C-alpha cells in the first residue's frame, strides 16, 4: 500500500473551530490521515492510492470543517490558471449566450472558469483584455466569426478549439461543428416537397465558413430539381438591414419567388417586415424559413419554420474538446445534429 495509506489513528480528532479558515492539516487531523492523503482525495487523484473508505472520511471531514482548497495557490504551483477564454462575435446574440452557458457548465465540473470576450466589432471590452493571453489562460474556444479578435489577442498561440470552422483549414487543435449542411438540406427538402421551385436566399453578409456552407448546400440541393431557381441577396446580421435588403429584392419586376430562405432567424424577422410593407402575406404569398430557432422564431406571427441549433450542447462539446486537447486526448468526433422545426411560415405555393 502506498505511503499515503496511513494507519488509522483515532477515528476523528476534534479540531478547534475559530475564526481562522480551516487548513488541509486540520482536515488531515480530523480524518486521521496524512496531508498527502488529503491532497490526493481533494485533488481527485486518490483512486488506486488510498482506499474508498479513507477518501470518504477525508471528504466528510472537509465538509464538516467547511474546508475549501486554495485553488489559486495550487494552480500557481502547477503553472496553470484553469481559465479558458471563449471568443464570440457579440454578447447581444442569444445563440452565443447559450454557447457560453454550455461551456461554463462543463468547465465548472472540471474546476475551470470561462471568461467571455466579444469580437471588437461587437459590444464589449477593449481590444486586448489581457496583457499576455499566454500568461493568463490555459486555452481558448473561438467562433470562426470572431477570428479577427482571436488573432488580435494572440489566442491562436494557445491550445485552441474552433467552433463553426472549416475542419480542413482550422487554426485550432480541434474543431467542433453543428451539422449546418444537414440543416440546410432539411430546409431545402421541406420546401421542395411543398412544391416550391423559385427561391430567394437572404444570406448573411459575413465572411464566415458557416455561412458559406449554407449557400453552397442550398445551391446543391435545389439544382437537383429541373426548373428550380435560386437568387441570392446579402444583408448584415440585423433586422433593419434585412428588411431593407428583402424589400429591395422583392420590389424588382419579374417573377416573384415563392420561398424566402434566410441564413438566420433575425434575417427572417426582417424579411417579415419587408413582406408586410409590400402587402404580401406569410405563407399565403411567400413561405419563409430561418435558422437558429431563437426565441424570436415563436414571437413573430406566423411562427417561423426554422432549424433548431442546440447552442448549449455546442458550448459543452467545445469545452469537452478543449479539455481533451489539454489532456492530450482525442476529442469526440462528429458534427452535432440539428433539427428542422416546421411551423406556420411555410406552405405549398399558390397555383399560378
Residue 105 has pLDDT above 90, yes or no: yes
Q: Answer yes or no: do 42 and 115 share one domain.
A: no
Distance CA 88, CA 119 (A): 6
Taking only the tens place, the pLDDT of each residue in 129-181 is: 555 455 577 888 988 776 666 666 666 678 889 999 888 877 788 999 999 99
Location of C-alpha cell 458550448: 315
Counted residue by residue, the chain has a size of 352
Which pLDDT score, from 0 to 100, does residue 144 have? 77
Nearest alpha-carbon partner for 200 in 293, 276, 299, 267:
267
Taking only the tens place, the pLDDT of each residue in 171-207 is: 788 999 999 999 999 999 999 999 999 999 999 998 8
Which pLDDT score, from 0 to 100, does residue 6 have? 40
Q: How far apart are the first and last CA of the chain?
A: 84
Q: Answer yes or no: do 275 and 294 share one domain.
A: yes
Strand ranges of the sheet holding 287-289, from the earlier edge strand across to the other edge: 229-235, 198-204, 259-262, 287-289
276 within some domain: yes
Q: Which of 12, 39, 69 is the last residue of a domain?
A: 69
Distance CA 128, CA 181 (A): 34
8 within some domain: no
Residue 58 belongs to domain with CATH number = 1.10.260
Q: Answer yes or no: do 263 and 219 share one domain.
A: yes
Distance CA 40, CA 63 (A): 16
9 within some domain: no
Residue 187 belongs to domain with CATH number = 3.40.50.2300
Which pLDDT score, from 0 to 100, does residue 301 have? 95
Q: Answer yes or no: do 165 and 185 share one domain.
A: no
Instruction: State the SS3 of 124-165.
Output: CCCCCCCCCHHHHCCEEEEEHHHHHHHHHCCHHHCCEEEECC
Which pLDDT score, from 0 to 100, does residue 16 have? 45
Largest CA distance in the chain: 91
Q: What percentage of the chain exceeds 90 in pLDDT? A: 51
Q: Answer yes or no: do 293 and 213 share one domain.
A: yes
Distance CA 32, CA 38 (A): 10
3 within some domain: no
**Grid cell in block for residue 283:** 405563407
Distance CA 302, CA 299 (A): 9
Number of domains in the chain: 3
148 within some domain: yes
Q: Is the model more confident about 333 or about 73?
A: 333
Which pLDDT score, from 0 to 100, does residue 121 have? 56
33 within some domain: yes
Residue 14 has pLDDT above 80, yes or no: no
Taking only the tens place, the pLDDT of each residue in 239-267 is: 999 999 999 999 987 889 999 999 999 99
Taking only the tens place, the pLDDT of each residue in 40-79 is: 887 777 788 889 899 899 889 988 888 766 544 444 444 4
Q: Answer yes or no: do 189 and 304 share one domain.
A: yes
Q: Which of 37, 69, 101 is the last residue of a domain?
A: 69
Distance CA 23, CA 44 (A): 17
Residue 82 has pLDDT above 80, yes or no: yes
Domain residues for the domain of 141 are: 80-177+313-326
Distance CA 276, CA 218 (A): 25
pTM, two decimals, is 0.74
Amino acid at each position: 500500500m502506498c505511503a499515503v495509506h496511513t494507519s488509522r489513528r483515532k477515528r476523528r480528532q476534534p479540531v478547534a473551530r475559530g475564526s481562522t479558515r480551516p487548513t488541509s492539516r486540520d482536515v488531515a487531523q480530523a480524518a486521521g490521515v496524512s496531508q498527502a492523503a488529503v491532497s490526493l482525495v481533494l485533488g481527485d487523484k486518490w483512486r488506486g492510492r488510498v482506499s474508498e473508505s479513507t477518501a470518504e472520511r477525508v471528504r466528510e471531514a472537509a465538509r464538516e470543517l467547511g474546508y475549501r482548497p486554495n485553488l489559486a495557490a495550487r494552480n500557481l504551483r502547477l503553472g496553470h490558471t484553469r481559465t479558458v477564454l471563449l471568443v464570440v462575435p457579440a454578447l447581444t446574440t442569444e445563440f452565443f449566450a447559450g454557447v457560453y452557458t454550455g461551456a461554463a457548465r462543463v468547465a465548472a465540473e472540471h474546476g475551470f472558469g470561462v471568461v467571455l470576450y466579444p469580437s471588437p466589432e461587437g459590444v464589449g471590452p477593449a481590444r486586448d483584455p489581457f496583457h499576455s493571453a499566454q500568461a493568463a489562460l490555459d486555452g481558448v474556444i473561438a467562433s470562426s466569426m470572431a477570428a479577427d479578435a482571436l488573432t488580435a489577442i494572440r489566442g491562436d498561440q494557445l491550445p485552441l478549439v474552433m467552433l463553426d470552422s472549416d475542419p480542413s483549414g482550422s487554426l485550432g487543435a480541434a474543431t467542433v461543428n453543428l451539422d449546418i449542411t444537414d440543416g440546410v438540406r432539411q430546409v431545402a427538402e421541406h420546401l421542395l416537397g411543398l412544391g416550391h421551385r423559385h427561391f430567394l436566399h437572404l444570406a448573411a453578409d459575413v465572411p464566415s465558413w458557416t455561412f458559406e456552407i449554407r449557400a453552397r448546400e442550398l445551391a446543391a440541393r435545389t439544382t437537383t430539381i429541373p426548373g428550380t431557381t435560386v437568387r441570392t441577396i446579402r444583408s448584415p446580421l440585423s433586422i433593419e438591414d434585412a428588411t431593407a435588403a428583402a424589400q429591395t429584392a422583392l420590389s424588382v419586376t419579374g417573377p416573384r419567388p415563392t420561398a424566402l430562405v434566410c441564413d438566420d432567424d433575425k434575417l427572417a424577422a426582417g424579411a417579415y417586415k419587408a413582406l408586410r410593407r409590400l402587402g404580401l402575406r406569410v405563407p399565403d404569398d411567400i413561405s419563409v424559413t430561418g435558422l437558429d430557432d431563437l426565441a424570436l422564431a415563436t414571437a413573430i406571427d406566423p411562427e417561423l419554420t426554422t432549424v433548431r441549433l442546440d447552442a448549449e450542447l455546442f458550448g459543452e462539446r467545445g469545452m469537452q474538446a478543449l479539455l481533451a486537447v489539454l489532456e492530450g486526448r482525442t476529442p469526440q468526433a462528429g458534427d452535432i445534429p440539428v433539427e428542422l422545426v416546421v411551423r406556420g411560415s411555410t406552405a405549398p405555393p399558390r397555383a399560378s
